Chain A
Amino acid sequence: MSEATTLTHQDSSKTVFGFWVYLMTDCVLFASLFATYAVLRNNTFGGPSGAELFSMPFVLTETLLLLTSSFTAGLAIVSQHAKRQNLVLVFLAITFLLGAAFLAMELNEFVHLASEGNSWQRSGFLSAFFTLVATHGLHITVGLLWLLVVAVQIMRKGLTFSSIQRLTLFSLFWHFLDVIWIFIFTIVYMMGVA
């Protein structure tokens, strides 16, 4: 049975597969940014290096916020399987708050660095640092916006095929961003401080 002929049966497999392919392209995008960071990480041009700038407790807090938000996103999916619409919305709200808190901390870190004269214009190292971490932050921002749109859709139309599909894709995206953060946490912050 070909895709376009059947009106009665709606199937996510093409869309989910396509989204995985997109996530792999996003992976290559981040890989290029990591490669650039690796090449430029010692190009401090007399300015400060990671060891002097990064605060591990701060980064640990960010990490816990993001990882927990992935957990609550997972709980939202479990609630969706159980067809409990209100619980879905509750967990989505918590995920949003945790993600927004992560973003706020990250923005705070950037403003703090820039105000001390250690902005992205200071050196190759700092350009690479800001771009890699901010690209992840931009993806988180897009994710939060998406989360809002999906939540609104669920509130208005309920757990329809379309909103469930979008919720699934959102959760894939959110978990993916979590994995990328783990790489950032390890390669940029931990290895930077070591």
Chain B
Amino acid sequence: MLGRLTLDAIPTNPITLGGAASMILGVLFIAALLTYFKRWKWLWTEWLTSLDPKKIGVMYIIVALIMLLRGIGDAVMMRAQQAIGTEGGFMDAHMFQQVFSAHGTIMIFFVAMGLMFGLINVVLPLMLGARDVAFPFLNSVSFWLFVAGMMLVNVSLMVGEFSAAGWLAYPPLSELQYSPGVGVDYWIWSLQIAGVGSLLSGINFLVTILKMRAPGMTLMKMPIFAWSVLSSMVLVIFAFPILTVTLALLALDRTLGMHFFTSSFGGNPMMYINLIWAWGHPEVYILILPAFGVFSEIVATFSRKYLFGYKSMVWALIAITFLSYVVWLHHFFTMGAGANVNAFFGIMTMVIAIPTGVKVFNWLFTMYKGRIHLTSPMTWFFGFIATFSIGGMTGVLMAVPAIDFAVHNSLFLVAHFHNMIIGGVVFGFMAGLTYWFPKIFGFKLNERLGKYAALCWIIGFIVAFAPLYILGFMGATRRLDHYDPSLGWKWLFIVAAVGVGIILLGVGFQILQLVYSIWKRKENLDKTGDPWDGRTLEWSTLSPAPSYNFATIPHVAERDTWWVEKQRKVKRETKYEDILLPKNTGFGVIIAGFSLIVGFAIIWHIWWLAAVAFVGVVVSIIVRASDEDTEYVITAEEVKKLEHKRASA
């Protein structure tokens, strides 16, 4: 009746129980607040069922930031274990393996991807002069599938266990023979469900950029952030189907006894390695390109100058997009491909650093002879330039297969990729969140606290990861839950733990910044819609942006069109028209809810439930598709009233 689910699935380990309990308490606390302030209906109608991409974006970001806390929690546990290390630590090997697997999975799939899709949802339509994305309902479905995947990862903490096979679950370890429990299945299905959401978003944003730009905005007049999203979504479209297949094949091995990657019966584990990295390498470029785009906007705005070398920036993005498909083997130089194959991929990996370098120089040249405003977004940018460049160089170092043979899977590698992800992706999205916050919420975040936060993250990152580079050279491999005291590594691990503490201080400043800024928001209202003296279209509408974004869709004649309009003091025509917007719908929640049940049921082998829930997904899609009444009108009169009410407020 309940498959292999029994009461034994509830964990007994105190650390796991503690984590599960705090999660449950957190959820109960929020439920209590909603009940006390009678906000359940508001939550459902204003947020959960909304198809407004600004709201969907904010929800993505909230979920991602909550998962960031869980991911950092895992990081703190690992640093503590390794700082104590020689005396045995407080986690046994099996728990430690689950912690590093959860850490990587959560940070990549639910924090980085969540922040990215959130920011794109919030910014892209506004920046393009559009009212919405191409497929608003699919947008909602994508978000809720992301939430369903997130929930599966969190449920694994309370019922069963998580994967102990690393964030990429290499076979044969991830096959039934060596991982007979439910952990790897949780990993597979949370990523499979969230991955469908990502793929749908890739299609959505690609079509939005290609089909919904404001009139006059040719591709070469688009802001560079939009170009970076376009490149990233092309990568999503080509890469995510590969992930879907790979996860499915592993699931088939584990659930239906197939032999794709098993160590006998004709399976080929190396096929998995190739497939997963054919997805995995484009994935990291999917994450970094929009972050590059964020910095392009920020550097131009806060240098009061056109971005230097727009065309070369576009070509660099296209080059990186193409090249990211021909480097994937650099993740496993040591796994027997031979010298010639290694040489090809090594050279391609070095080549991909070149367009990235072009971008870095273009940012620097943008600043040259500009009027620099050292705001908190710029602080994040300087942190990025310093750290990302170093991380990039360590990448080029490891691109040499002979060198990689010495440092593959060492802490040197771990430091390198955290350098890129924290220094590049995280700093970029933090900068973007600060920068675009007033557009969504109508008031600025406190600048001083923002700078303290950025400084703590930058310094904390260096203190946490410089020791790891050194340890890598000293021969320390990754994923060690203990090590021999005679190696003399302990003090370096202690320094790294201090670094994480400084990062936590930075997170503390960010929480303080948010609370303080909300408290003081009436004094920091953005009255003009353009608090940073920006250059692009999103700054030409009110803050917070209304549901329809623009009362009148602007016409675009050149790059940085808003900046040009301000310089020439162009007066915009205000011709009001009826506006058609998508109605709210709960079907995104429903479809994702059924998907969550399908995933849970397959994991626990509750076949009847999986079948029923799957039918639920199909029926929901058909019911939604049969609904003809999915849009509503804001008449021209109403638009005019809303605009005047805002302007006089």
Partner-B contacts on A (CB < 8 A): 1-7, 13-15, 17-18, 21-22, 24-26, 28-29, 32-33, 35-36, 39-40, 43-45, 120-128, 130-131, 145, 149, 153, 162, 166
Contact = CB atoms under 8 A, between A and B. Distances in A.
B141 to A, nearest CB: 13
Nearest to A44: B266
B256 A124 contact: no
Interface of B: 129-132, 134-135, 199, 202-204, 206-207, 210-212, 214-215, 237-238, 240-242, 244-246, 248-249, 252-253, 256-260, 262, 264-268, 271, 275, 278, 548, 553, 577-581, 618, 622, 625-626, 628, 633
A122 B135 CA distance: 43
Nearest to B243: A32
Given A36-B260, A39-B271, A3 B265 contact: no
B265 A45 contact: yes
Contacts of A24: 237
B172 to A, nearest CB: 13
28 contacts: A2-B129, A2-B214, A3-B211, A4-B548, A4-B579, A5-B578, A13-B211, A14-B134, A14-B207, A21-B206, A24-B237, A25-B238, A29-B241, A29-B242, A32-B245, A32-B275, A36-B260, A40-B268, A40-B271, A120-B256, A120-B258, A121-B257, A123-B266, A124-B267, A127-B258, A130-B258, A149-B622, A153-B626
B265 A29 contact: no
A29 B267 CA distance: 20
Given A4-B131, A28-B238, A36 B267 contact: no
Identify the 10 closest CB pairs spanning chains A and B, nearest first. A124-B266, A43-B266, A127-B258, A45-B266, A29-B241, A32-B245, A28-B241, A123-B266, A121-B257, A2-B553
Given A4-B579, A21-B207, 19 more contacts: A7-B578, A7-B633, A14-B207, A25-B203, A25-B241, A28-B237, A29-B241, A32-B245, A36-B249, A39-B271, A40-B260, A120-B256, A121-B258, A122-B259, A124-B262, A127-B266, A128-B260, A131-B258, A149-B626
A29 B268 contact: no
B211 A5 contact: no
A24 B239 CA distance: 11
A25 B244 CA distance: 11
Nearest to A127: B258
A110 to B, nearest CB: 13
Contacts of A17: 207, 210-211
A123 B262 CA distance: 10
Contact of B579 (A5, A25, A33): A5
Contacts of B578: 5, 7
A6 B580 CA distance: 8
Contacts, number: 136
Contacts of B264: 45
Chain A contact surface mostly: helix
Nearest to A45: B266
Contacts of B581: 4
A188 to B, nearest CB: 16
Contacts of A35: 275
B258 A40 contact: no
Contacts of B242: 28-29, 32
Given A5-B580, A131-B258, A18 B271 contact: no
B513 to A, nearest CB: 35
Given A21-B206, A32-B241, A2 B212 contact: yes
B259 A36 contact: no
B614 to A, nearest CB: 12
Contacts of A33: 245
B266 A36 contact: no
B325 to A, nearest CB: 11
B207 A36 contact: no
A168 B90 CA distance: 61
A26 B241 contact: yes
Contact of A124 (B202, B212, B260, B275): B260
A91 to B, nearest CB: 22
B267 A43 contact: yes
A90 B630 CA distance: 30
A5 B245 contact: no
Given A120-B256, A127-B260, A39 B268 contact: yes
A153 B202 CA distance: 29
Nearest to A11: B211
